[in-house]
């Protein structure tokens, strides 16, 4: 039975790329009409299979009308996709793109650039506030002799600073949402 690449790939339960590779390496061959003779290709596909010679047919069997590809059916374009497959892929990705756009409009999805910009702002704020701690605490820490008290005071200041930044970010999120 004559088949195009897509049909033969389905017949062998492999990808079209596997069939193209087999054609390129000479493992199987296309007929002059550009199609693959499945029986002949199946024999070539299984090189270790033993084929018992039988009587040669006197005349070729009549082709089954259902097995023939109609002229209006789409043929393989030589790039691994037939028209219907390419169209189905386009429709699939178009539907995904529409879903993504809807998610962005609903606020369920944000752009990477927006997230990066927001994180840069957060980290800049945090860095600025942390770097201001020594200037704010230097006079007070200079009068304390006990290292444990200094450590506790610094830990309290850092904790307060982080709570303030977190509260500001939460307030900004509430304003945006």
The predicted-structure confidence for 5-60, as pLDDT tens digits, reads as follows 999 999 998 999 999 998 998 888 999 998 999 899 888 887 644 444 555 555 65
Q: Tokens 């529409």, residue?
A: 98
- 170 falls in which pLDDT band (50, 70, 90)? confident
Tokens of residue 110, six digits: 């944000």
> What is the pLDDT, as a whole number, of residue 80?
60
> What is the pLDDT, as a whole number, of residue 48?
47
> What is the pLDDT, as a whole number, of residue 49?
43
Q: How many CB atoms lie within 10 A of CB 172?
A: 13
Beta partners for 36? 3
> What is the pLDDT, as a whole number, of residue 85?
87
Determine contact, residues 4/35, Cβ cutoff 8 Å: yes
> 49-53, 123-127, 161-165: lowest mean pLDDT where?
49-53
H helical segments located in 5-49: 5-12, 16-25, 38-45
The predicted-structure confidence for 65-112, as pLDDT tens digits, reads as follows 454 444 444 455 555 668 888 889 999 999 999 999 998 889 888 889
> What is the pLDDT, as a whole number, of residue 177?
55
Show me where the domains of the chain are located.
1-69, 78-109, 112-176
Residues 6+ apart with CB under 8 A from 16: 5, 6, 9, 76, 80, 81
């Amino acid at each position: 039975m004559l088949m195009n690449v897509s049909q033969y790939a389905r017949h062998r339960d492999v990808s079209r790329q596997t069939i193209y590779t087999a054609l390129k390496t000479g493992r199987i061959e296309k007929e002059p009409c550009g199609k693959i003779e499945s029986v002949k290709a199946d024999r070539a596909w299984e090189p270790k299979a033993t084929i018992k010679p039988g009587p040669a047919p006197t005349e070729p069997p009549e082709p089954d009308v259902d097995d023939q590809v109609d002229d209006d059916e789409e043929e393989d374009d030589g790039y691994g996709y037939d028209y219907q497959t390419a169209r189905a892929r386009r429709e699939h990705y178009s539907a995904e793109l529409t879903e993504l756009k809807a998610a962005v409009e609903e606020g369920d999805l944000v752009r990477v650039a927006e997230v990066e910009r927001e994180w840069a702002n957060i980290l800049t704020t945090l860095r600025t506030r942390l770097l201001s701690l020594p200037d704010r605490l230097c006079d007070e820490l200079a009068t304390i002799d006990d290292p444990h008290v200094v450590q506790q005071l610094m830990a309290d200041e850092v904790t307060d600073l982080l709570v303030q930044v977190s509260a500001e970010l939460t307030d900004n999120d509430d304003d945006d949402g």
